Amino acid sequence: MGPCQPRFHNFCKSKFGQQQRRFNPAWFNKYENWLEYSISKNAAYCLCCYLFRPEIGEQASGEIFTKNGFSNWKKPERLEEHVGGPNSAHNKVMGYCEDLMKQEQHVRTFFNKHSDQDRKDYRIRLFASIDVVRLLFEQGLAFRGHDESDNSSNQGNYLRILRFLADHNEDIKKVTLKNAPGNNMLTAPSIQKDIVRACSIETTNAIIRDIGDALFSVLIDESRDASMKEQMAVVLRYVDKNGSVIERFIGLKHITSTTAISLKEALDQLFSKHGLSISRLRGQGYDGASNMQGEFNGLRTLIMNENECAYYIHCFAHQLQLAIVAIAKKHDQVNSFFNVVVNVVNVVGASCKRRDILREKQLLSVVEALENDDLPSGQGQNQEITLKRFGDTRWGSHYGTLLRIISLFPHIISVLEIVAKDKSNSSEQRFQANYLIEFMQSFDFVLSLYLMRDILALSNELSQALQRKDQDILNAIKLVEICKKNLQMMRDNGWDSLLSEASSFCLKHDIDVPNMNDVFLPWGRSRRKAREISNMHYFRVELFFAVLDLQLQELNNRFNEVNMELLLCLACLCPNDAFTAFDKDKLVRLAQFYPKDFSPIELMALKTQLQIYIMDIRSSTEFAELKGISDLAKRMVETKKDKVYPLVYLLVTLALILPVSTATVERTFSAMKFVKNELRNRMGDEWMNDNLIVYVEKDVFNSIDNESIAQCFQSMKSRREQL
């Protein structure tokens, strides 16, 4: 156990589990530069006196601190006596230790001593290399090429940009590449990795410093990379010193197993690496996978067994996605509709020829409309669009696809007609094209198209809001409620406008609109098997009402967090409408959910502080017209109220750090596909992690100067030259 590992969780118990008077961790904080503790011997030692004992004899400590070990815990003053005065033997050897750790005084440096000009040249060369790395990170480019020899026409991005930089700067040209010492060119792959490693360390350290001793929550998800390795991404959510909610990516961990125990071990290793503690955790956010959020054996439970205050929130964006998926799976008409949309996109986009036909017909229609003044002209308007595939897990793309089908409808029909008439196509392809034409030119399809467009439009607005990093849990719940109200309003009052819009579309494109009072005849079925219901009943009740009721039911079932007592108490912090939701008793109850942060004495003090706080805030014009607790936290910091009411501000902080969605983790995986692509699929785990941290957290990295990166690079190992 050394000075670089201050962990004393097990020091207070013997191997029999009984309490004993042992080493006090506070002593380590005071004497951390020399004190060593042995768990097995329950004794303390002086590292520096032990190292230089042959030179100073035993005058500094006898054999107590160098051989036998100090264990007389009743007399801790002996530690101070051992240190002695400024000229004591202990302080003398402390100077020896400090000299030993200085790289510039290393024996290798002594034999390779260079002039001041060599140091200046080395600094210019190193800073130029760091600037090259910055540019590569900014664009997410690969560092090395397949052939980096001098005769290669494409040496790789690192060497090529460094050469470009040298060609445009005489000071850099004089000290880099061929003009640099052969053994200190700073172009070797190992040097490139060391510089990247230094950038990653400084970026992560800046994030950890920004977190400080603040409470935080964790967002975790797993995904495969380009080389089919399972990777776990970890994002921390916290409130910074300005009262703003921040989400930062701190690392990627390769996991060989996706069991809850493996994920927990990987998380513990990452926390230990960065000096983070699970005891500071106050929230967990996952996408709902069973190995993550399982109530009995999931990662959620393993963490809560250690820290009961790390409350779990199911990703809101994922719940919204599941609620929409339920419609496609549970309603036959909607299920058939999306199957047809998939087939249309596949058939029209099956070849470049068909895509070109679609573009050409779109261009002709735009030109004709502009000539007839049916379309406004201007920069950025009337851009070329085409059909795009949508993913099963990204319903925002479904919404975009439906909008494009509406816009390109006549051109899609034209392409399908060409496919159906082309004898070079197989009979199966021609039959499929004819089927799609017939189905798309039915009122059933058009009404389903406009109905799902409107539903996905409301859900898309909510989904976009949930993607924000600074979104807080209370505002997210409010947005869900607004989405439900809009859907209910659509159910109550939206049928006439939907029918009118769908009918207008049908008339424009020569599609028959059925008489709503006639008997409904299912598309493609016999009249004899038709039920005795009208078209109005089917389209309004069995389609319109049924789909909206199903959507509302799924939203209520999925977003069950609204009924959690914790969140009901959090709602009392909302500053809207002059803090009308404020409830002192519920806020005290909220504090009781966090026994690690509020002692019994602080709970009593909180009652008084809340009473004074609400009177002060309501009478202050600075806190009028706030929108959400995010604004409240920022305004409290601006007006120094966080210092006046620290317990209230702690409640606000706890509310803000509860996770809303795993969107930041998903963005990290998108960046991972860009950094480790098919051409760079041999990247090692550490190399990819370093690249990804800097690439994702560009704003943090850009705030770090070259001097800090150079010093970190220099301290990683012994270098041939010193700064």
Q: Residues 255, 710: contact at Cβ < 8 Å?
A: no
534 backbone dihedrals φ, ψ, rounded to 5°: -85, 165
Span 438-445, average pLDDT: 93
Span 572-576, average pLDDT: 91
Span 412-435, average pLDDT: 91
Q: Which of 657, 688, 713 is the last residue of a domain?
A: 657
Residue 312, pLDDT > 60, answer: yes
Give the whole-angstrom CA distance, residue 654 versus residue 216. Answer: 8
Q: What is the pLDDT of residues 131-148, one digit of tens each?
A: 999 999 988 888 988 777
Q: What is the pLDDT of residues 45-63, one digit of tens each?
A: 887 887 776 555 445 446 7
Give the whole-angstrom CA distance, residue 557 versus residue 555. Answer: 5
Q: How many domains does the chain have?
A: 3
With respect to residue 376, please indicate whether it lies within any of the assigned structural domains. yes
Give the whole-angstrom CA distance, residue 107 versus residue 631. Answer: 58
Span 404-419, average pLDDT: 91
532 and 573 share a domain? no
pLDDT score, position 57 = 44
With respect to residue 602, please indicate whether it lies within any of the assigned structural domains. yes
With respect to residue 304, please indicate whether it lies within any of the assigned structural domains. no
505 and 648 share a domain? no
Residue 2, pLDDT > 50, answer: no
35 and 63 share a domain? yes
Selected residue with higher pLDDT from 310 and 378:
310
With respect to residue 257, please indicate whether it lies within any of the assigned structural domains. no
Where do runs of H (alpha helix) occur along 408-442? Answer: 409-421, 427-440
The per-residue pLDDT of the chain, averaged, comes to 85
With respect to residue 242, please indicate whether it lies within any of the assigned structural domains. no
DSSP-derived secondary structure letter, 573: G
Span 595-603, average pLDDT: 93
634 and 523 share a domain? no
Residue 64, pLDDT > 80, answer: no
Span 462-473, average pLDDT: 86
Residue 105, pLDDT > 70, answer: no
pLDDT score, position 445 = 94
pLDDT score, position 538 = 92
Q: What is the pLDDT of residues 650-667, one digit of tens each?
A: 999 999 999 998 889 989
369 and 478 share a domain? yes
Which pairing describes strands 281-286 and 311-314: parallel, antiparallel, or unpaired? parallel
With respect to residue 227, please indicate whether it lies within any of the assigned structural domains. no
Least confident of 181-190, 284-293, 364-373, 480-489: 364-373
Span 376-390, average pLDDT: 63
339 and 449 share a domain? yes
Least confident of 312-326, 393-407, 675-689: 393-407
549 and 572 share a domain? no
63 and 83 share a domain? yes
Residue 485, pLDDT > 60, answer: yes
536 and 582 share a domain? no
**Residue from 344, 324, 259 nearest 297 by CA:** 259
Give the whole-angstrom CA distance, residue 182 versus residue 198. Answer: 23
Span 474-495, average pLDDT: 92
pLDDT score, position 385 = 67
476 and 361 share a domain? yes
Residue 156, pLDDT > 50, answer: yes
Span 400-416, average pLDDT: 90
Span 585-596, average pLDDT: 93
pLDDT score, position 388 = 74
DSSP-derived secondary structure letter, 542: I
Give the whole-angstrom CA distance, residue 546 versus residue 6. Answer: 62
With respect to residue 226, please indicate whether it lies within any of the assigned structural domains. no
Residue 631, pLDDT > 90, answer: yes
Of all helices (H) and strands (E), which one includes residue 473? helix 473-493
pLDDT-based confidence at 293, cuts 50/70/90?
confident
pTM, two decimals, is 0.78
Selected residue with higher pLDDT from 323 and 235:
235
Of all helices (H) and strands (E), which one includes residue 197? helix 189-211
Q: Is 253 helix (H, G, I), strand (E, B) or coil?
A: strand
Residue 16, pLDDT > 80, answer: no
pLDDT score, position 58 = 47
pLDDT score, position 640 = 94
**Residue from 309, 325, 152 nearest 217 by CA:** 309
Q: Residues 344, 405: contact at Cβ < 8 Å?
A: yes
pLDDT score, position 381 = 58
**Residue from 211, 131, 139, 142 nearest 168 by CA:** 131
pLDDT score, position 168 = 93
- Which residues lie below 8 Å from residue 156, measured CB to CB, with a gap of 6+? 142, 143, 144, 145, 146, 148
Span 582-598, average pLDDT: 93
pLDDT-based confidence at 14, cuts 50/70/90?
very low
Span 88-102, average pLDDT: 79
Q: What is the pLDDT of residues 220-243, one digit of tens each?
A: 998 888 888 999 999 999 999 999
Residue 7, pLDDT > 80, answer: no
Q: What is the pLDDT of residues 112-128, one digit of tens each?
A: 555 778 889 999 999 99
With respect to residue 158, please indicate whether it lies within any of the assigned structural domains. no
Span 529-538, average pLDDT: 80
Give the whole-angstrom CA distance, residue 595 versus residue 348. Answer: 60
Q: Residues 606, 594: contact at Cβ < 8 Å?
A: no
90-94, 418-422, 677-681, range with greatest mean pLDDT: 418-422
- Which residues lie below 8 Å from residue 602, measured CB to CB, with a gap of 6+? 591, 647
pLDDT-based confidence at 393, cuts 50/70/90?
low
Residue 321, pLDDT > 50, answer: yes
Q: Residues 250, 204: contact at Cβ < 8 Å?
A: yes
What sign has the CA pseudo-torsion 66, 67, 71, 72?
negative
Kindly list the distances between the CA atom of residue 128 and the CA atoms of 113, 223, 705, in Å, as whole numbers in the listed order: 23, 36, 13
pLDDT score, position 54 = 53
Kindly list the distances between the CA atom of residue 269 and the CA atoms of 236, 272, 276, in Å, as whole numbers in the listed order: 15, 5, 10
Span 55-74, average pLDDT: 67
49 and 83 share a domain? yes
Structural domain boundaries enclosing 36: 25-101
pLDDT score, position 127 = 95
Q: Residues 651, 610: contact at Cβ < 8 Å?
A: no
532 and 580 share a domain? no
Q: Which of 558, 590, 614 is the last residue of a domain?
A: 558
pLDDT score, position 50 = 79
Span 274-288, average pLDDT: 91
Q: Which of 52, 70, 101 is the last residue of a domain?
A: 101
